[in-house]
Structure 1
Amino acid sequence: MAIADIIQDQAELMVMAIADIIQELVAAQQTGKDVDVNRLKTAVSARYGLRAQPRRVDLIAAAPPPLRNLLLPKLRAKPVRTASGVAVVAVMCKPHRCPHINFTGNICVYCPGGPDSDFEYSTQSYTGYEPTSMRAIRARYDPYLQTRHRVEQLQQLGHSVDKVEFVLMGGTFMALPEDYREFFIRSLHDALSGHTSATVAEAIRYAERSRSRCRSRSRCVGMTIETRPDFCLRPHLSAMLGYGCTRLEIGVQSVYEDVARDTNRGHTVRAVSECFHLAKDAGFKVVAHMMPDLPNVGLERDMDQFFEFFENPAFRPDGMKLYPTLVIRGTGLYELWKSGRYRSYPPSTLVDLVARILALVPPWTRVYRVQRDIPMPLVSSGVEHGNLRELALARMKDLGTECRDIRTREVGIQEIHNKVRPYQVELIRRDYVANGGWETFLSYEDPDQDILVGLLRLRKSSPETFRPELKGGVSVVRELHVYGSVVPVSSRDPSKFQHQVLRNSRFSLGSILIPSLFPKKKSDFYGISLNSAHSL
């Protein structure tokens, strides 16, 4: 038989197999039977003698429109992607040199990537082989194409992309020229709205108008920018407010001055606490990047620094990305490792350390990641497991501790991993002092099952705030979030928490509790606009 005939036969068999899988899934849903999609795909593929199994993308595309919503919960690939209520779209700016090379002479000792590295076409601190990096390279770092391709990919995987949160990666974005930054931000908003704008203000204004008139299927409800403490000063913060940025990811790595000096960070630890203060007073959510296992630290100091990080009011971030140190070729740390002057923690020790760090995380902090996305073959020493968070959580059970960070307790994550739903939801208030201001963390939770459904971060700004609209005892709503899988704005799904009674309960949070807590003035800062956040 000719090769063309074999290919045609396989294609025809694939179509028949997909039809059978769809029929069996529909029958199972109608009878209430639980079906393992992967096992079903394997069985049907074997029945038809297929050389490869049907992809979930193909199954989703083949689902009849009237039955699509019925089948999506079973067919959706990687449901965790939108379990927090938004579709995260990560994009990368063009490769550029680290800004502190100009006054320190070099980059951080552990940092891979960048124009001068072994990974020439990668951005600073990335290798070019991470999923986001590869998507950016395929799009030639064009922000418009990166956005369109990623949104389309998420749609094909069965995710709702009504509410998009951008994450700008690829080094210190605020160190790039202003005209490039404006072009980049403008392109992100235009990619969602379909409009071609001349300025950032026009792009945001048109996106808001399109949203209110239901012309655009996707809209930006949040934006995160990666930066450094020395590029998180008053002018930078004001510019990022103009971009529609709502959250900052700030590279901290260590709270020890000697470690910051020896690893060539190019800033002091005091600069970290100062930029946290400025950012929170301006209304931003603050996420810190931290690196255990840096040179000349050791286990005891590592544990002490994370205790300090969460307990000292000078730090206390809203979120954290935990990146255990990796040894990658081409870095200064690689040379230290080759010469025997640096040794990574053994795998079991690292798992134990991460477990103990997670036990320190307060309930108002979210741990976004526990390790880098860098492929293991590129890592010479460091993390040896791709599921470090899972191993650390298992270790916590052995230690009799638990992780109470926001992500672990989110209702969407709990539904996916533990198949549990909240039963008795209560309003819980927590107050703490951080970065010169008073923080109130309001949340809807099921305390018996420790499930978090929604939250509101309220900050009474310090008198030193530099934003004139926030002076005079103003309280800032820095975040308002209802968790659970994304539900399109134009639809209603009573099984989803984003459109249950808690949707209306947010107004009791904002309209009743806030005036009673801080009766002077209130400013909203939890989305690109007030209306955007109310549609979450």
Structure 2
Amino acid sequence: MVAPDYSVSPGLLPGMGADEARVRAIAEVVSLLVAGVREGRDVDLNQLKCEVSRRYKLARSPKLVEIIAALPEEHRTTLLPMLRAKPVRTASGIAVVAVMSKPHRCPHIATTGNICIYCPGGPDSDFEYSTQSYTGYEPTSMRAIRARYDPYVQARGRVDQLRKLGHVVDKVEYILMGGTFMSLPSDYRDFFIRNLHDALSGHASSCVREAVRYSEESRTKCIGLTIETRPDYCQRAHLSDMLAYGCTRLEIGLQSIYEDVARDTNRGHTVAAVKQCFVQAKDAGFKVVVHMMPDLPAVGWERDIECFREFFENPHFRTDGLKLYPTLVIRGTGLYELWKRGLYRNYPPDKLVDLVARVLALVPPWVRIYRIQRDIPMPLVTAGVEKGNLRELALGRMAALGLRCRDVRTREVGIQDIHSNSAVRPDQVELLRRDYAANGGWETFLAYEDPRQDILVGLLRLRKLAGPDSSRQPELLGAVSMVRELHVYGTAVAVHARDSANFQHQGYGSLLMAEAERIAAREHRSVKIAVISGVGTRHYYRKLGYHLEGPYMVKYLVPGPAGAGAGAEGKEGVKGGAGFVPREVVPAVRAARVRKEDGGEEGGKAGAGAGREEERQALAAAVPAPQLSMQPACRRRRTVARACRVAGQ
């Protein structure tokens, strides 16, 4: 193959300064890129930068961010996908921004006397300026330390960095790291969350409620917020606070499903408490991601495999996502002392790769593996994982064994575009449905997929709440169905833009919502459907007929109470699909409404509240309890064409 000819007359002038030479070199690189696109030939960017740098005698080659900043507006759309650094950052349709809270001690020191035996970091560790369970040398930790743990500086700096690297940052998902955030004082938590929202909106807010209100209207949308917590800091009061923050997903440290392992590693809580935490979190609408650690002391290979098999099959667990963190030995931890005395030894590297491969083969198609192995630099690891590409090695081992990984991340259309360049045609996409019981409720996983290539385009998680009203949020009493996640994948597209080459903004989300409403009304017999929505996506649900009720976007599946749609927004009530439920429901609601109106204005707000409660009871009594179908999971429900007809009814 003949190398392309990048020869261009140098055009250097006598006495040209270093800055001027650099500017001219960047301009020449951009002009050659534009010429290559016009002529339809591939351009080797690294070779091009070396040639131009040598010609202009530059001490270092132009940076990618400098080249991206110099792109002409008329060519940005064409050239940005070619130049975008680390395209996987936004391959799922969003830009993930990780931030860290200030260093603080682990809350269960007060009850157990110490931290977990494998946990590095924290104010009392060898890495004293780091947060709990981090060393201070992870990329997110170093950004936080440079920003002195200021949330505004962390968020604004990372968003600007991603934008300079060529990514679309209109849709941002925050991940709040740094130990148990909910154990910190409430005034610091409010300060931190307020500044995260203000970093996107540019407004200086005085309270969390004001910050959330302005964040709704921000050009850069906060579409989700993830908070790391523990089961003992995931009670009903904590869940209410996190809902007010705009949180949509929780990351909870389980580490092992065995009670003896939790006790021996000094976790400070029981596995039974974790199970109850999952029920409360899912009934509040949160997506739940769990941290699990294979290769803990006194477990062994067979017990590790059985641990994950039980985790995926037992309805008391069955979370939405998983972070797989093989145990690491790091100096300063209790596990390090056991390792020095010969009382603990890690799995050999090949055995660990084989274990991870077998775990990935067990993952159901509705679970997403968010991460495999910690981001701790290898020089700080005394024993444990020896390679930084454990996921890649495990997938290679699976291929050698004839196994497939079918988790959500592996099958995402954006990830597939990067790794395998698979082309998905819209006429090959079908709506698939999978049902399963989990954490005291009934889950329905709806997904648009290309079943032939096993590629996932979009998903929706629908839950029929089954717990007692006493354990629920006040907005979720009675017969309610909950949409816990709606996500359409593919490379991120700007909020008000469309790209025919990508799947975002093509109507898949509204079709998934239409099917969820049909299931909620006809199968769950729910009175209303609620969505735990990111702050920045609330306007999207308003277009679908939802209104804000507390922290949730809500739609009544029968004619709601007079003004029910007003909620906190003060707008006219939104009618639900009256045809979805039996007609005998409507007279009961009307009778309750007449009784409330006959009471006049006496009683003020108390009377109105009693009337609403009476209506809710009438609705609950009129709608029978759902008969959960035990039909085989993972069966196809209807094609895209059928879904379009349902949405149009």
Q: TM-score, normalised by structure 2?
A: 0.78
Distance 1:532 1:250, change over 3 A: farther
Q: Give the letter for the 1:523 counterpart.
A: A
- Aligned to 1:459, the other structure's residue is in SS state strand
Give the CA deviation at 1:43: 4.3
SS of equivalent to 2:191 = helix
Counterpart-to-counterpart distance in 2, 1:268 and 1:507? 37
Aligned partners of 2:222 and 2:536 also within 8 Å = no
What is the aligned partner in structure 1 of residue 643 from structure 2?
A: none
1:479 aligned to which of 485, 493, 509 = 485
Deviation per CA, 1:283-303: give whole Å up to 9, x if none.
Answer: 000000000111111111110
User: Which residue of 2 is the match for residue 444 of structure 1?
Assistant: 448
Q: Is the 8 A contact 2:458 2:509 kept in 1?
A: no
Matched with 1:246 is: 248
- Residue in structure 2 matching 1:261, options 255, 263, 273: 263
Deviations 1:177-215 (A, max 9, x none): 11111111111111111111121111111222xx2xxxx
Larger relative CO (CA 8 A, sep 6+): 1 or 2?
1
- 2:385 matches 1:412: no
Q: 1:483-528 CA distances to partner (integer Å, 9 max, x unpaired)?
A: 1111111222222211224255345334545433434221111322
Counterpart residue number, 1:457:
461
Equivalent position SS for 2:99: strand
Task: Give how far 1:9 is off.
Answer: 5.1
Which residue is equivalent to 2:308? 306
Q: Distance in 2 between matches of 1:395 and 1:345?
A: 16
Q: 1:114 to 1:6 in 2, by over 3 A?
A: farther
Deviation at 1:10, TM superposition (A): 4.8
Q: Of 137, 140, 144, which aligns to 1:136?
A: 144
The 1:160–1:6 alpha-carbon spacing in structure 2 relative to 1, beyond 3 Å, is: farther
- Distance in 1 separating the partners of 2:334 and 2:403: 37
1:335/1:532 Cα in 2 relative to 1: closer, same or farther (>3 Å)?
Answer: farther
Q: Deviations over 1:320-339 (max 9, x none)?
A: 00011111111011111111
Counterpart in the other structure of 1:236: 238
The structure-2 alpha-carbon separation of the partners of 1:145 and 1:7, relative to structure 1 and needing over 3 Å to count, comes to farther
2:500 is the alignment partner of 1:500? no
Asked if 1:320 is matched to 2:326, the reply is no
The question of whether the paired residues in 2 share the 8 Å contact of 1:484 and 1:498 is answered with: yes
Count residues in correspondence.
Answer: 526
Question: Is the Cα–Cα contact under 8 Å of residues 203 and 211 in structure 2 kept in the other structure?
Answer: yes
Report the AA paired with residue 484 of structure 1.
Answer: G
Where 1:118 maps in the other structure, the secondary structure is: coil
State yes or no: 1:60 paired with 2:79: no
SS of equivalent to 1:38: helix
Contact 1:14–1:54 (CA under 8 A) maintained in structure 2: yes
**2:201 aligns to what?**
193
Q: Does 1:491 align with 2:497?
A: yes
Q: What CA distance in whole angstroms lies between the structure 2 residues aligned with 1:145 and 1:396? A: 42
SS at 1:432 equivalent: strand
Contact 1:86 1:161 (C-alpha < 8 Å) held by counterparts: yes
CA contact (8 A) 1:91 1:169 kept: yes
1:522 to 522, 525, 529: 529
- Mapped to 1, the partners of 2:472 and 2:482 lie a distance apart of 14
Q: Tell me, yes or no, if the aligned pair for 2:486 and 2:509 is still in contact at 8 Å.
A: no
> Shift of residue 468 of structure 1?
2.7
Partner residue, 1:150: 158
Larger Rg: 2
1:368 matches 2:374: no
Aligned residue in 1 for 2:286 = 284
Aligned runs of 1:374-453 on 2, under 5 Å?
A: 374-423=376-425, 424-453=428-457
State the match for 1:17 in structure 2: 25
Provide Cα deviations, 1:391-415, integer angstroms capped at 9, x if missing partner: 1101100011010000000011011
User: Contact between 1:411 and 1:483, CA under 8 Å: does it hold in 2?
Assistant: yes
Q: Which residue of 1 aligns with 2:123?
A: 115
- SS of residue paired to 2:382: strand
CA distance in 1, matches of 2:128, 2:14: 42
Q: How far apart, CA to CA, are the structure 1 residues paired with 2:509 and 2:472?
A: 33
Indicate the residue corresponding to 1:223 in structure 2: 225
Q: Which runs of 5+ in 1 are unaligned?
A: none
Distance in 1 between residues matched to 2:237 and 2:407, nearest whole Å: 32
Partner amino acid for 1:346? P
Under a length normalisation based on structure 1, what TM-score does the superposition of the two structures give? 0.94
CA distance in 2, matches of 1:485, 1:332: 43
| CA distance in structure 1 between the aligned counterparts of 2:68 and 2:347, rounded to whole angstroms | 44
Corresponding position: 1:30 with 2:38: yes
Q: d(CA) in 2 for partners of 1:496 and 1:122?
A: 40
1:77 to 66, 81, 85: 85
Which whole-Å CA distance do the structure 2 matches of 1:402 and 1:281 have between them?
Answer: 32
CA distance in structure 2 between the aligned counterparts of 1:309 and 1:451, rounded to whole angstroms:
25
- Give secondary structure in 1 for the equivalent of 2:419: helix
Q: How many Å separate the matches in 1 of 2:437 and 2:519? A: 19
Which residue of 333, 341, 350 corresponds with 1:348?
A: 350
Q: Which moved more, 1:309-318 or 1:499-508?
A: 499-508
Q: Are the equivalent residues in 1 in contact too, given 2:221–2:536 (CA < 8 A)? A: no
CA distance in 2 between counterparts of 1:411 and 1:63 reads: 28
2:118 maps to a residue whose letter is Y
Q: Which amino acid aligns with 1:518?
A: H
